[in-house]
Amino acid sequence: MSSPNDLTEISSNKMFGGYQKVYSHNSNVLGCTMNFGIYLPPQAEENKVPIIYWLSGLTCSEANFIQKAGAQRYASEQGVILVAPDTSPRGLNIPGDSDSWDFGVGAGFYVDATQKPWSDNYKMFSYITKELLEAVNKNFPVMEGKQSIMGHSMGGHGALICALRNPGLYRSVSAFAPISNPIECPWGQKAFSGYLGPQETGNWADWDATELVRKYNGPPLIIFIDQGTSDQFYNERQLLPENLLAACKQSNVPVILKFRDHYDHSYFYIATFIGEHIEYHVTQLNF
């Protein structure tokens, strides 16, 4: 099997002066072939540029963000690379991995699983923060250390825990409608039970943004949360941004929580505010 750093180009489309590409590579961490999307702005043809990772939500592949968020326009204007990974290992056919839309395929939850049969492959946390990061840095003109991370829903949770568990690795973090306190909501409880085992023994708090904030002691990090008020899953209490907000305030971690009136959980909402997020990250990256 070839190295994770050996990339195969799947597609390449010119867009806003740069290129939206999809690559595949072998992941040793996940034990399967993975696709990821990358937008290279025109500035990357001659110079190294900063980079922002986007983590997608439940059921998504690398394709959703690329096709629906309209983010490339802003990345082109700002001169920043955007990377959109997949949301779980693929093609493994582990028994039960496709029985539900909120667990298994398309629902890796950005943790490193500890429970069989998931623990051999479902290590999206290590994939995103180490293996993919290295593959991208080796292959593309990335300014060293100038990386940020953002995501949506399950991927918002992913962005938050990737940043909070790796102090200093990402210059900034933001999240649209993140699952902010997974140990307190049905989605998170189901996923963590499966991937990490029972709450009593599974160290759930190590993978929960609201819990991680309480013990964060790395470089200054602002938590930027975006939430639509007509979001079905917010109203069903799957997201719980108020819990994260309270933990940030208790722990003196700076936090921005922007409520967006009448916006829902869809990519129509994301498309509306992705430009503001990219501009925010670029400001932090250039600081």
Residues in contact with its own copies by the rule CB under 8 A? 13-17, 20, 67-68, 70, 72-73, 228, 230, 262-264, 266-269, 271-272
Biggest CA–CA distance in the chain, Å, is 52
Q: How far is CA 54 from the centre of its chain?
A: 5
* Least spacing, CB of residue 9 vs its own copies, in Å: 14
For tokens 């593309």, the residue is 140
Strand order in the sheet with 255-260: 8-15, 18-27, 32-40, 81-85, 49-55, 142-152, 173-176, 223-228, 255-260
Q: Give me the residue label for tokens 């946390």.
A: 125
Which residue, 119 or 272, is less far from its own copies as judged by CB?
272
Q: What letter would DSSP give residue 219?
A: S
For its own copies, the closer CB: 151 or 228: 228
Q: Which is nearer to its own copies, 26 or 35 (by Cβ)? A: 35
Neighbouring CB atoms inside 10 A of 93's CB total 8
CB of 68 to its own copies, least distance (A): 5
Name the minimum Å distance from CB 230 to its own copies: 7
CB proximity list for 217: less than 8 A, separation 6 or greater:
167
Q: Which residues are catalytic?
A: 153, 231, 265
Prior bond of 254 cis (ω within 30°): no
40: its two tokens: 């290279």
CB closer to its own copies out of 73 and 130: 73
63 vs 143, beta carbon nearer its own copies: 63
C-alpha 277/C-alpha 241 separation (Å) is 17
ω into 4 cis (within 30 of 0): no
Query: Shortest distance, CB of residue 75 to its own copies, whole angstroms?
Result: 12
Write the single-letter amino acid at 96. Answer: G
Smallest distance from the beta carbon of 14 to its own copies, in angstroms? 5
Distances (CA, A) of 247 to 200, 223, 244: 21, 11, 5
Nearer to its own copies (CB atom), residue 45 or residue 236: 45
**Pair of tokens at residue 136:** 């991208």
Q: How far is the CB of 264 from its own copies (least distance, A)?
A: 6
